[in-house]
Structure 1
Amino acid sequence: MVIMEPSTFPEPDVRLARLADAVGLPPAWPPADQFLDDLAQRTGLHTHDLLLVADLPLPETAWLFDETAGASSSLVSHSLALTASGRQQLRTRARSMTAPVGALTPWKPRPHEEYPPSFGSLLLRMLALRNLNWSGAAKVMCLMSGVCKAASTIGAVGRGAKQLDAEMLDGFAATLGIRVAVLAHLTGIRPSGEHREPAPEVVDTASLIWDIRHLTWDQEGELTAYAEVLGRK
């Protein structure tokens, strides 16, 4: 697999083709639903992430959140420490929960979250899909990857004030629960080391973060308490 050098932010069809090439899938444009499903399965990204990559519209429900929620450090820490069985039980509980009617509101980016087109802004929008703001992303990234940056640094990547580099690529890949090689091929940034698969607890926790994106602050607290119980078993 050839890793390209960073360049200007390419057009959507090129970005999607890079992802397809990273996992040995023939590119397709415009992308059919089956192609997006296959690409999601192979890359570990979600179809909504791929719609962002392709500059295609997402369902309005994708941006409904309780912005006081989002994956907390406590929940992520407990999830990472659980056994595989415990993580499965935690995710099962999370997927069984739904927010009360009217509890979620449409997410509207604030002025500081209006980014110029770039790979950094694309990755921050993926995290926003998971109800992670700069602060939440910084905390989760540190716990899941060991890449510990200030919230302002995360924001600077989105604004283009800080270059997306190999270290940050490691952090974003872990937070998304995918191989860094996938992001390296997409962005053209050379990865920092071996193209290792993310650890099972990282993949499961990244999936949990996705599962809880539409829950409320109270529901997340309930889930954290359940994770604590699981950790004592």
Structure 2
Amino acid sequence: MTMEPSTYPDPDVRLARLAGAVGLSATWPPTEEFLDGLAERTGLHTHDLLLVADLPVPETAWLFDETAGASSSLVSRSLALPVSGRQLLRTRARCMTAPAGMLTPWKPRPHEQYPPGFGSLLVRMLALRNLNWSGTAKAMCLMSGVCKAASTIGAVGRGARPLDAEMLDGFAALFGVPFAVLAELTGVRPSVGSRELTPEVVDTAALIWEIRHLTWDQESQLTEYAEVLGRE
């Protein structure tokens, strides 16, 4: 089994790897136009790419209701919906805005202070989606079949557990991006069991991104709406 490389390359190399994966010519320092194009081609978001490049992420990106985050109920209901239902669910999510004053800046706890590495990069990208270790583990299991304990997610972030092909399958599902994109970034090679993402997984990954700045109450409302859609 191929493990995470022992060295963590400089940010310009990391961006160049992603650019190479999708046929773009890398530029450093990256321009806004380049990052937008890279985001469109890879399926990652510009804020993800700022983390890849060790560039500042806007403070507003870290405003969350930490009691929220994609719940197992919402994820499982989204996965079970037909394409029309998933579209309606995402449309509803995009129309929702958290009430003023309900979101607070995310402050990493001591156990969320990670050393440089691909594992910590991926876990911090999930933190941008308001997913903690537990939320990540639950959503990953539902979306990819890669079922690990929350402590395992933390160990990947700390570099105590190597990032292998199985774990990368799970991360690819949560981001809704092809395995090949993350493989080119990290240097982890696919396993025999690696597979393409299904439309419902890609749509659910997009939903996770869209609800990152909603409150617990708003997410509960979305879950109820998804349940209604599932009965139609």
Query: For this structure pair, what is the TM-score category when the shorter chain's length is used for normalisation?
Result: over 0.9
Where does residue 226 of structure 2 map in the other structure?
A: 227
3-state SS of paired residue (1:142): helix
Distance 1:56 1:184 in 2: 22
Displacement of 1:196 after TM fit?
A: 4.7
- The question of whether the paired residues in 1 share the 8 Å contact of 2:3 and 2:164 is answered with no
- Structure 1's unaligned 5+ residue stretches are none
The 5 Å alignment of 1:62-81 reads: 62-81=61-80
Where does residue 27 of structure 2 map in the other structure?
A: 28
Where does residue 13 of structure 1 map in the other structure?
A: 12
Distance 1:83 1:153 in 2: 32
Distance 1:4 1:142 in 2: 21
Where does residue 121 of structure 2 map in the other structure?
A: 122
Where does residue 148 of structure 1 map in the other structure?
A: 147
- The question of whether the paired residues in 2 share the 8 Å contact of 1:178 and 1:197 is answered with no
Alignment pair present for 1:182 and 2:184: no
Which 4+ runs in 1 deviate beyond 6 A? none
Where does residue 87 of structure 1 map in the other structure?
A: 86
Displacement of 1:198 after TM fit?
A: 1.3
- More displaced stretch, 83-92 vs 194-203: 194-203
Distance 2:208 2:116 in 1: 25
The residue identity in structure 2 corresponding to 1:64 is L
Distance 1:151 1:4 in 2: 20
Displacement of 1:6 after TM fit?
A: 2.2
3-state SS of paired residue (1:24): coil
State the TM-score, normalizing by the size of structure 2.
0.97
Where does residue 191 of structure 1 map in the other structure?
A: 190
- The question of whether the paired residues in 1 share the 8 Å contact of 2:166 and 2:194 is answered with no
The residue identity in structure 2 corresponding to 1:82 is L
Alpha carbon RMSD of aligned pairs, Å? 1.4
Distance 2:194 2:156 in 1: 23
Displacement of 1:182 after TM fit?
A: 0.5
Displacement of 1:7 after TM fit?
A: 3.9
Where does residue 202 of structure 2 map in the other structure?
A: 203
Residue identity over aligned pairs, in percent, reads 81
- The question of whether the paired residues in 2 share the 8 Å contact of 1:65 and 1:107 is answered with yes
Deviations 1:66-103 (A, max 9, x none): 00000000000000000000000000000000000000
The residue identity in structure 2 corresponding to 1:11 is D
Distance 1:68 1:62 in 2: 16
Where does residue 137 of structure 2 map in the other structure?
A: 138
- Structure 2's unaligned 5+ residue stretches are none
Deviations 1:42-87 (A, max 9, x none): 1000000000000000111000000000000000000000000000
Displacement of 1:205 after TM fit?
A: 0.2
State the TM-score, normalizing by the size of structure 1.
0.97
The residue identity in structure 2 corresponding to 1:116 is P
Distance 1:51 1:17 in 2: 13
- The question of whether the paired residues in 2 share the 8 Å contact of 1:141 and 1:171 is answered with yes
3-state SS of paired residue (1:92): helix
| Pair 1:224–1:5, CA change in 2 (3 A) | closer
- The question of whether the paired residues in 1 share the 8 Å contact of 2:62 and 2:128 is answered with yes
Distance 1:49 1:211 in 2: 14
Deviations 1:161-196 (A, max 9, x none): 101001000000001100001000000011113775
